[in-house]
Amino acid sequence: MTGQPRIEAVRGDITTEHVDAVVNAANEGLAGGGGVDSAIHRAAGAEELHAACAALGRCKPGEAKSTPGFKLPARWIIHTVGPVWSGGGFGEEMRLSSCYRRSLEVADELGARSVAFPAIATGVYGYPREDAARIAVRTLLATPTAVELVRLVAFDDETLALYEKELAAAGLAGS
């Protein structure tokens, strides 16, 4: 059965989340990098995760692919690639929205019922945080899925406040 997940926002480190799947903000080469990608590689076990990512090949912006979670509490990692912000006129919004939609679709293929997302593209890739929070909440609400719980994990207070604002605007209670 598909429906709408419960969406909550928390402040935290996604590598410690006890959910079925965590989403990684990766790059096209799935080669590891900085930010949340680096934290996930370290916590999952960099060697095993690098090998699993290498076997997946490349991943286009807006797409998503999965690996096991290895040493993470989460059973799976869903790697998605956000758009590099170039001013907003280059399909960035469509690609960021696709990251959330495709990650839920991959979660459904895996049978994951709880999924934690970082604020994809809002670090190194430079996506404006307020717009990104709006796109995250709206896309998650508009995507039919069997996922029951989505946790938006903010690494900073500003991002958490933006999520809470968007959830309130959607008539949802925040965390």
By C-alpha distance, which of 102, 101, 113 is closest to 76? 113
Looking at the Cβ atoms of 57 and 171, the one nearer to ligand AR6 is 57
Tokens of 86: 């170039």
**Among residues 49, 64, 74, 119, the one that binds ligand AR6 under rule CB under 6 A:** 119
136 binds ligand AR6 (CB under 6 A): no
**Among residues 70, 76, 100, 125, the one that binds ligand AR6 under rule CB under 6 A:** 125
User: How many amino acids of this chain bind ligand AR6 (CB under 6 A)?
Assistant: 25
Touching ligand AR6, residues 13-42 (CB under 6 A): 13-15, 25-27, 33-37, 39
Based on the residue annotation, tell me whether 37 is a catalytic residue of this protein: yes
Supply the minimum distance, in Å, between the C-beta of residue 113 and ligand AR6.
21
106 binds ligand AR6 (CB under 6 A): no
Q: How many other CB atoms are there within 10 angstroms of residue 156's CB atom?
A: 12
- Catalytic one of 37, 131, 156, 157: 37
Supply the minimum distance, in Å, between the C-beta of residue 69 and ligand AR6.
14
Give yes or no for a contact between 30 and 58, defined as CB atoms under 8 angstroms apart: yes
Please choose, out of 10-18, 65-73, 90-98, 143-151, the segment that lies near ligand AR6 by the rule CB under 6 A. 10-18
Angle at 97 between CA 34 and CA 104, to 5 degrees: 85
3, 35, 40, 143 from 52: Cα distances, Å: 31, 19, 13, 28
Tokens of 57: 């090949």
By C-alpha distance, which of 26, 1, 14, 9 is closest to 137? 9
Please choose, out of 50-58, 107-115, 117-125, 135-143, the segment that lies near ligand AR6 by the rule CB under 6 A. 117-125
62, 136, 152, 172, 174 from 65: Cα distances, Å: 11, 18, 19, 29, 28
Binding-site ranges for ligand AR6 (CB under 6 A): 13-15, 25-27, 33-37, 39, 82, 118-125, 153, 155-156, 159
* Residues carrying an active site annotation: 37
